Structure 1
Amino acid sequence: MIDSIKRHWRVGLLVVAVLAATVVLFAPQFAPTAGAEGIGADDGANGTADGLTNLQFGLDLDGGTRIRAPLVGYTATDVAFQGDDPATVASNVAGELSNTTSTSVNAELRDPAEGGTGAVEVTDTNVSETEFTAAIEAAGYTYEGVRPGVTEETREATIEVIEGKINEAGLSGGSVREIVDANGRSFVLIEVPGEDRQDVEELIAERGTVRIDIFIPNDGNGTRNRGVVTQDDFENVGTASRGQSNQAYVPVSVVDTAPEGQATPAQQLQQAVSQADAAAGNPGTDGWRCTADYAESEEPCLLLVVDGEVVNSFGMDGDLLRSMTSGSWANDPGFRLTTGTAEGSFERAQQISINLRAGALPAELGDGSSSYISPTQGEQFKTYSLITGILSVFAVAGMVFLRYREPTVALPMIVTALTEVYTLLGFAALLGYPLDLAVIAGFIAVVGTGVDDLVIIADEVMSEGDVSSKKVFDSRFRRAFWVIGAAAATTIIAMSPLMVLSLGDLSGFAIFTILGVLIGVLVTRPAYGDILRMLLTDR
């Protein structure tokens, strides 16, 4: 028994691969969870599981939304910083642009030598290329050229923020990645399986800035302290919830640390509230009572501002106000952002939580293309893919039988080719890589190249007549395997650029074609040779 296993270890390796693929495909332990990310996540490859197996499907086979758009902005390259640090450069350029804040201008130092050169970008959609170049020159900096688009750092940050928005919204299987077209232009590609296009566009369309202002009434002419808490001042952000009286709210806490000698954001908010309370004539320690229209309120109001629009105004609980005016609140700086009880208030609270958790987009998405595949159409693609796979198997099986007319040669060939595909499916489930039409095309290519290699083996070992001797069989098999190995190396080299470049669906095709070739060379081809040796030799 042990001797037999040693002699036929290649067949044993194939059996182990099939068993391992079965476990990965059907065992609950390998089932993907909502929002889980596999290796494919790095390539934007996430999908949803089909329920029967642990396989995941992409947009083509499961339906969903795909959005492809550039990031809006201009980037000046090889800017001479003249010894200024990047923050100073950004501030100086922003100062030369009317109605543009410093947050819309960013500078990145590339070469620290000789004063330093780098890139300067503007992400304000209202700034033209002419205005941007004029601002750089007015600020006293020289540059090599200006191109449309943003820096690599901004693209990476934007992708990270959009991924955060998708994950916080609970859109399982969503993915975001950068792709480059034939002209070298960079785009952000967003794919969300199973979701409507309008919902996805609304989620990512806004930059999602959130801040808190304080409105202070003063003899009918109110003043407004803007940005007492901004996006970066929030530390812990909870999920949207409902409290007493069906009030929707988001629990948050404010950052309570700062560089030595500076007030923390929590202390700054505490001071602003105390000053507002005093400026309003100290309405009392029972808290602030804010009316629905904050402009008509007789007491101060906290204003929740999202994307520059006041979405809610609310007062302050007496205990919270007392802790702020006494100076103790900053030691435990937590409170609730309430959005009210009206229709849509809970959805607004959810959006606020998403914006706070995910952050603001460093740059806006420009005009691009979007597409939506309905779940019904996705099911049709699944059906057509299955039919195509079955037809390809029957076509290959028919040609093999016509070629050899010997079941001892043809049947092992077909079974070996099918086990290769089955093992490849196991790899897809293990990696968490979703199946789409490009991956299916890769599977079909693997079937074709796999059977070609098996035909080479069969033809070589049977081409010179009697093959009953194991020694003769091994000699002929080695010659065939050298041909197969060279062909496999050629395929891997040819497919490698498609696998590593940002070419969208072609990456999936290349990845699984290469995986199939490797499985074939390392597992299935040697196993088929072992099977033929057992069937065709007797000495």
Structure 2
Amino acid sequence: MLQIALWKRLGIILVCLAGLALALPNVFYTRAERHNDAVTAIERGAIATPEIEADLAQWPEILPSSLVNLGLDLRGGAHLLAEVQLGDVYAARLDGYWPEVRDALREVRDQIGTIRRQDSPADELRVRFSEPGGAQAAADAVRALAQPIVSLTGVGQSDIDVEVAGDILTVTLSDAERTATDDRTMQQSLEIIRRRVDEAGTREPTIQRQGADRILIQVPGIGSAQELKELIGTTARLTFHPVVSRSGSAETTVDADQLLHPSMDEAGAYYILERTPVVTGDDLVDSQPAFDQNGLPAVTFRFNPSGARAFGEFTANNVGAPFAIVLDEEVVTAPVIRQAITGGSGQITGNFDVAEANRLSILLRAGALPAEMTFLEERTIGPELGQDSIDAGQVASLVAMAAVVVFMVAAYGLFGVFATVALGINVALIFGILSLIGGTLTLPGIAGIVLTIGMAVDANVLVFERIREELRTAKGPARAIELGYERALSAIVDANITTFIIATILFTLGSGPVRGFAVTLGIGILTSVFTAIFVTRLLIILWFERRRPKQIEV
């Protein structure tokens, strides 16, 4: 007989109610969003001002408040395509090798004579020694510094190559180490960009690698591409260097192991610094905006234990000497060391306003980008264009649903009405699931929903046509309905499995808009099968149990 167990009925009803409850905040999107933003602000330590309290009251606490995040094409925002200058990392790596290379060569000084670093391309470290006869000893001493590469592709290989030509020793990164370094640099850049964007409180950014050295960044809701560039485009590399001397000219000649950087505050002032820093921003664990003793905006910082130890030892050994705090190749300040700084913390002062101090603290807290980025493409999408896309998507969805409703009611009468109710629940379930998983809805995603609306009734059509056939041979309408669902099930499952496989392939191999389409299509397939097999059937059974018709027309 035509029956569904009570626990199954309750389960179907609970799933539908849960989907409707999860989808409900999207009907009142602005109110729920303001409530969520206020909750996030309080979780981050903001003071509960009257404005925040008013925003919290925009949505009841007892109801779900998760929203479907709107993509860049629907909400407006900024789009950037950045190229990471991987060559900068090679230069930094080789600069870091210089102290070790120098110490290793000093141990064989009796064979190679005096040593001096030479000017060289960014991806090389060149050292001249005065006794060419000691070339082999110099090469062996430096090769002993080589380390095995920590990567799956570089197993069994070392990280540096050493060559000697006459009295010149050249150190370069090996090809395997360059490949591993490129991969680490891209992963680090992705993570730091994500931290910086998250620190700024933006919603659902898209940050992904493209090709060997490019990163795609899309941030919905941000004001402009320029604002996004200011947030993530600064390297924010903080280093602390011993000061050799000052200069008043940018043309000052410096040695290969020295740097010439301008002063941030004093126009025309330059500092000659030792190339190798004492500590770097990699040793920072925290940075916060603050005010100095004069009430002016400043930025505080705190080192990790190793950075604090190195900084403490340097200041203890150089009391009375100046040292420079360098931010992105500009000297922020160059104070004289009055006493050992052993606490592992300090303060950066300069010509900051409050906004600049806050932005700098975000950049330092998120970490320094390992290499400079060049922006190849930038676009700003206004919220008006995004709203136009939403309106167009709504119109398309309503037209599609209206056409389906008219066709189903005209073709199947009361059974078509049941299918229409299930279709509405189907759409609510799609939005409920997207809200639950924190999915992002894009314009292609709306296309996936529109396609789902058209496909959702396919299963009902298969069932209803099968019921029509069974009415000609079955004993009574109850048996016809039961057989219709049983014998149409295999066709429904087969058709939707193949479509779901296609959606999975699109999600796996695609990116950006293609993935957005695949997500909504895949979720729509699952919900349409559920509503066709369970929801429509439950509606028909409830109607049948109430009316007990002797004959039915489908």
TM-score (norm 1): 0.70
The Cα offsets for residues 42-63 of structure 1, whole Å up to 9 and x where unpaired, read as: xxxxxxxxx8864221211111
The Cα offsets for residues 441-489 of structure 1, whole Å up to 9 and x where unpaired, read as: 1211221111111111111112343564423322221111110100111
Q: Note closer, same or farther for the CA distance 1:29–1:22 as it changes in structure 2 (3 Å cut).
A: farther
Q: Note closer, same or farther for the CA distance 1:112–1:25 as it changes in structure 2 (3 Å cut).
A: closer
Q: Note closer, same or farther for the CA distance 1:394–1:223 as it changes in structure 2 (3 Å cut).
A: closer
Q: In the TM superposition, what are the counterparts of 1:66-105 in structure 2 within 5 Å?
A: 66-73=79-86, 98-100=121-123
Residue of structure 2 equivalent to 1:207: 235
Distance in 1 of aligned mates of 2:294 and 2:4: 74
2:282 to 232, 237, 257: 232
> In the alignment, residue 24 of structure 1 is paired with which amino acid?
L
Q: Does 1:401 align with 2:402?
A: no
Aligned-residue offset at 1:156: 1.6
Q: Which moved more, 1:64-73 or 1:375-384?
A: 64-73
Residue of structure 1 equivalent to 2:389: 381
1:310 to 322, 327, 331: 331
Q: In the TM superposition, what are the counterparts of 1:295-374 in structure 2 within 5 Å?
A: 300=322, 303-313=324-334, 321-322=338-339, 324=340, 329-330=341-342, 332-340=343-351, 344-374=352-382
Aligned-residue offset at 1:208: 1.9
Q: Which moved more, 1:393-402 or 1:412-421?
A: 393-402
Residue of structure 2 equivalent to 1:267: 312
Q: Note closer, same or farther for the CA distance 1:95–1:169 as it changes in structure 2 (3 Å cut).
A: farther
Residue of structure 2 equivalent to 1:175: 206
Q: In the TM superposition, what are the counterparts of 1:29-44 in structure 2 within 5 Å?
A: 32-33=36-37
Contact 1:417/1:450 (CA < 8 Å) preserved in 2? yes
Q: Note closer, same or farther for the CA distance 1:465–1:13 as it changes in structure 2 (3 Å cut).
A: same
Q: Note closer, same or farther for the CA distance 1:334–1:505 as it changes in structure 2 (3 Å cut).
A: same
Residue of structure 1 equivalent to 2:439: 433
Aligned-residue offset at 1:112: 8.4
Residue of structure 2 equivalent to 1:61: 74
Q: Does 1:157 align with 2:188?
A: yes
Aligned-residue offset at 1:524: 4.2
Q: Note closer, same or farther for the CA distance 1:198–1:422 as it changes in structure 2 (3 Å cut).
A: same
The Cα offsets for residues 503-537 of structure 1, whole Å up to 9 and x where unpaired, read as: 21211211221122122324542221232344466
Contact 1:69/1:366 (CA < 8 Å) preserved in 2? yes
Aligned-residue offset at 1:425: 0.5
Residue of structure 2 equivalent to 1:288: none
**Runs of 5+ consecutive residues of structure 1 not aligned to the other structure:** 37-50, 76-86, 122-136, 280-299
Partner secondary structure for residue 463 of structure 1: helix
The Cα offsets for residues 416-442 of structure 1, whole Å up to 9 and x where unpaired, read as: 011011011011111111221122112
Contact 2:445/2:517 (CA < 8 Å) preserved in 1? yes
How many residue pairs were aligned? 442
> In the alignment, residue 18 of structure 2 is paired with which amino acid?
A
Aligned-residue offset at 1:168: 2.7
Greater relative contact order, per chain length (Cα 8 Å cut-off, separation 6+): 1
Contact 1:109/1:118 (CA < 8 Å) preserved in 2? no
Contact 2:332/2:349 (CA < 8 Å) preserved in 1? no
Residue of structure 2 equivalent to 1:470: 478
Aligned-residue offset at 1:267: 2.0
Residue of structure 1 equivalent to 2:398: 390
Residue of structure 2 equivalent to 1:124: none
Q: Note closer, same or farther for the CA distance 1:172–1:496 as it changes in structure 2 (3 Å cut).
A: closer
Q: Does 1:507 align with 2:515?
A: yes
Residue of structure 2 equivalent to 1:295: none
CA RMSD of aligned residues (A): 4.2
The Cα offsets for residues 313-353 of structure 1, whole Å up to 9 and x where unpaired, read as: 5577xxxx45x2xxxx42x322222224xxx4333323332
> In the alignment, residue 19 of structure 2 is paired with which amino acid?
A
Contact 1:58/1:436 (CA < 8 Å) preserved in 2? yes
Contact 1:109/1:117 (CA < 8 Å) preserved in 2? no
Contact 1:248/1:338 (CA < 8 Å) preserved in 2? yes
**Runs of 5+ consecutive residues of structure 2 not aligned to the other structure:** 26-31, 41-57, 60-64, 89-95, 102-116, 126-146, 162-168, 249-269
TM-score (norm 2): 0.68
Q: Note closer, same or farther for the CA distance 1:109–1:351 as it changes in structure 2 (3 Å cut).
A: same
Residue of structure 1 equivalent to 2:17: 19
Residue of structure 2 equivalent to 1:532: 540
Q: Note closer, same or farther for the CA distance 1:497–1:225 as it changes in structure 2 (3 Å cut).
A: same
Aligned-residue offset at 1:494: 1.3
> In the alignment, residue 98 of structure 1 is paired with which amino acid?
P
Aligned-residue offset at 1:223: 6.5
The Cα offsets for residues 171-194 of structure 1, whole Å up to 9 and x where unpaired, read as: 3433312245xxxx6642211112
Q: Does 1:197 align with 2:218?
A: no
Q: Note closer, same or farther for the CA distance 1:354–1:532 as it changes in structure 2 (3 Å cut).
A: same
Contact 1:35/1:173 (CA < 8 Å) preserved in 2? no
Contact 1:179/1:503 (CA < 8 Å) preserved in 2? no
